A and B are shown apart, each in its own frame.
Chain A
């Protein structure tokens, strides 16, 4: 078994009607790592997510070259159903994730497990654990249609967690949510990250991503244009801006201060770091 739980090598992919959506993409993810994927819309981020659980190419067809190996399984050699037990994919719009006919939160989380043929006691234990993890305890009997945006997305995450995948892939999980919903979902992701889950998350909320991502990969027009530790990638202010991605505001500000005022401040990527760096620089610790 490799020390990497995800290995993508020279992945190039074209949909039947759209070519070169991914071009020569290579990266690896270690167990327990949190990888953030950033880049403008249309860069291939969602397609990459779908390549990780085999929807690309099994469901979409198209031309696929290179190799995607997840938890030791080459995606070309396994069905989407087999891969689903290893890779849990959470969509941007939670409505797409949910079955739409479960009467309660509990049933919704149990649904996937019963489809996979787990025994009832195992289902019950997993459902309770998943609901607890996303902070929906107490809402087991609520209808999925009576949940707020953030609760609905957390339910979608629970349905995936119940399968106990080795890798959790989230495709812009907060894009459609209000500030409370974003906060709730980020809190769950951070908790899962702290507990050692392997997480790949596509996000435009770079300031949030900066607080928990280990590594970041930036895509543009299907190609990786930057990858490495979060701090290194987010500090590449001009690169990011060139591809239409805003670095955290405090990172951009500090970059400008260093450049225009000739200062030599350390470059923060989070608010907490910035407060410390500026307090020191201004002598107000």
Chain B
């Protein structure tokens, strides 16, 4: 068994006496995983995510990042390992040029000169914003602004990326670019944890999915298992992706199909239709 990169152990967290946001959450993340965190707003997704890089500390229980306890380790040590991309770009962007925005993090980590240059260049090329170094971040359209927030985390080269609702407010092209980016970071060996409400995105990108509701983990498993756990999803008021719903309806009628994405469905129907007379 590989060594976990993050361990969340019976974590409890409350913003005040009334609002208990996490109620005993356990989660283990291994290096190289690509995980979706899903669930309604107010269920605890963002609260949990902010525990992963020490932005929030557990009231009870503990979070270990590469073995470091987030309560006793300085936050600047934790953020070297876990980078956090905020939902709202304007909560994160502050520099006057794209270059400075992306250079800020690594400069803070002590990088300068050629290494700094190299990191900025690499980060911008990862998100496809090369050539925009001198632009003002606030002159970019929303989609590019979002990519810039990711680039400013990539330049710090953390091992884990936490992305908070990157798909919210994006058009389909923007969602595709972010999906490709998550996959690309993952292929580069990064661990990626992404919060999203877009179940098509989840089906096409994540290998593992964790469903959170009312401060607890309701389900944690392969994306296929979670997105087809119809009773659990119903309880959490989440609609599975359309292809998964189609597959489930056909399974109920005795058809052996288990696809959750368009590409999977195409391959499964290719086999089914070659043996069926229905389409000849």
Question: On chain A, which size bracket covers the interface?
Answer: 35 or more
Nearest-CB distance from A61 to chain B (Å)? Answer: 20
Choose among A42, A178, A248, A278 the residue that contacts B250 (Cβ–Cβ < 8 A): A278
Tell whether, in the assembled complex, residue B273 and residue A263 are in contact, meaning their CB atoms are under 8 Å apart: yes
Tell whether, in the assembled complex, residue A257 and residue B172 are in contact, meaning their CB atoms are under 8 Å apart: no
Choose among A178, A246, A285 the residue that contacts B41 (Cβ–Cβ < 8 A): A178
Tell whether, in the assembled complex, residue B262 and residue A249 are in contact, meaning their CB atoms are under 8 Å apart: yes
Tell whether, in the assembled complex, residue B172 and residue A204 are in contact, meaning their CB atoms are under 8 Å apart: yes
Q: Which residues of B contact A263 (CB under 8 A)?
A: 273, 279
Q: Which residues of A contact B200 (CB under 8 A)?
A: 246, 249
In Å, the complex CA distance between A119 and B243 comes to: 52
Tell whether, in the assembled complex, residue A248 and residue B242 are in contact, meaning their CB atoms are under 8 Å apart: yes
Q: Which residues of B contact A271 (CB under 8 A)?
A: 242, 245-246, 249
Nearest-CB distance from A219 to chain B (Å)? Answer: 12
Q: Which residues of A contact B41 (CB under 8 A)?
A: 148-149, 178, 180-181
* Closest A residue by C-beta to B169: A175
Q: Which residues of B contact A92 (CB under 8 A)?
A: 169
Nearest-CB distance from A275 to chain B (Å)? Answer: 4
Nearest-CB distance from A29 to chain B (Å)? Answer: 23
Nearest-CB distance from B172 to chain A (Å)? Answer: 5
Tell me if B90 is interfacial: C-beta within 8 Å of chain A. Answer: no
Tell me if B276 is interfacial: C-beta within 8 Å of chain A. Answer: yes
The 3 A-B residue pairs whose C-beta atoms are closest, nearest first, are A244-B173, A281-B278, A249-B242
Q: Which residues of A contact B277 (CB under 8 A)?
A: 283
Tell me if B237 is interfacial: C-beta within 8 Å of chain A. Answer: yes
Nearest-CB distance from A187 to chain B (Å)? Answer: 12
Tell whether, in the assembled complex, residue B243 and residue A250 are in contact, meaning their CB atoms are under 8 Å apart: yes
Tell me if B253 is interfacial: C-beta within 8 Å of chain A. Answer: yes
Docked complex: A87-119 residues within 8 A CB-CB of B: 92
Tell me if A139 is interfacial: C-beta within 8 Å of chain B. Answer: no
Tell whether, in the assembled complex, residue A249 and residue B241 are in contact, meaning their CB atoms are under 8 Å apart: yes
Docked complex: B237-280 residues within 8 A CB-CB of A: 237-239, 241-243, 245-246, 249-250, 253-255, 262, 265-266, 269-270, 272-274, 276-279
Given contacts A176-B169, A257-B270, list 13 more A-B pairs with CB under 8 A.
A40-B173, A41-B170, A179-B197, A179-B239, A183-B239, A244-B171, A245-B171, A250-B243, A260-B270, A271-B246, A282-B250, A283-B278, A284-B253
Tell me if B73 is interfacial: C-beta within 8 Å of chain A. Answer: no
Number of interface residues of B (CB under 8 A): 41
Do A257 and B278 form a contact, CB below 8 Å, given A175-B169, A249-B243, A250-B243? no
In Å, the complex CA distance between A182 and B168 comes to: 12
Do A250 and B246 form a contact, CB below 8 Å, given A40-B173, A149-B41, A176-B168? yes
In Å, the complex CA distance between A37 and B266 comes to: 29
* Closest B residue by C-beta to A210: B242
Question: Could you list which residues of chain A lie within 8 angstroms of chain B, going by C-beta atoms?
Answer: 40-42, 92, 148-149, 175-176, 178-183, 204, 207, 244-246, 248-250, 252-253, 256-257, 260-261, 263-265, 271, 274-275, 278-285
Tell whether, in the assembled complex, residue B249 and residue A41 are in contact, meaning their CB atoms are under 8 Å apart: no
Tell whether, in the assembled complex, residue B276 and residue A283 are in contact, meaning their CB atoms are under 8 Å apart: yes
Choose among A204, A261, A264, A275 the residue that contacts B249 (Cβ–Cβ < 8 A): A275
Q: Which residues of A contact B31 (CB under 8 A)?
A: none
In Å, the complex CA distance between A265 and B170 comes to: 32
* Closest B residue by C-beta to A278: B250
Nearest-CB distance from A109 to chain B (Å)? Answer: 23
Q: Which residues of B contact A285 (CB under 8 A)?
A: 253
Q: Which residues of A contact B273 (CB under 8 A)?
A: 257, 261, 263, 281
Q: Which residues of B contact A280 (CB under 8 A)?
A: 278
Nearest-CB distance from A233 to chain B (Å)? Answer: 15
Q: Which residues of B contact A41 (CB under 8 A)?
A: 141-143, 170-171, 173-174
| 20 pairs, CB–CB < 8 Å, chain A vs chain B | A41-B141, A41-B173, A42-B141, A148-B41, A178-B40, A178-B197, A180-B40, A180-B237, A182-B197, A183-B237, A249-B200, A249-B242, A257-B270, A261-B274, A263-B273, A279-B250, A281-B273, A281-B276, A281-B278, A282-B250
Tell whether, in the assembled complex, residue A179 and residue B237 are in contact, meaning their CB atoms are under 8 Å apart: yes
In Å, the complex CA distance between A242 and B229 comes to: 34
B142, B197, B246, B254, most chain A CB atoms within 10 A:
B246
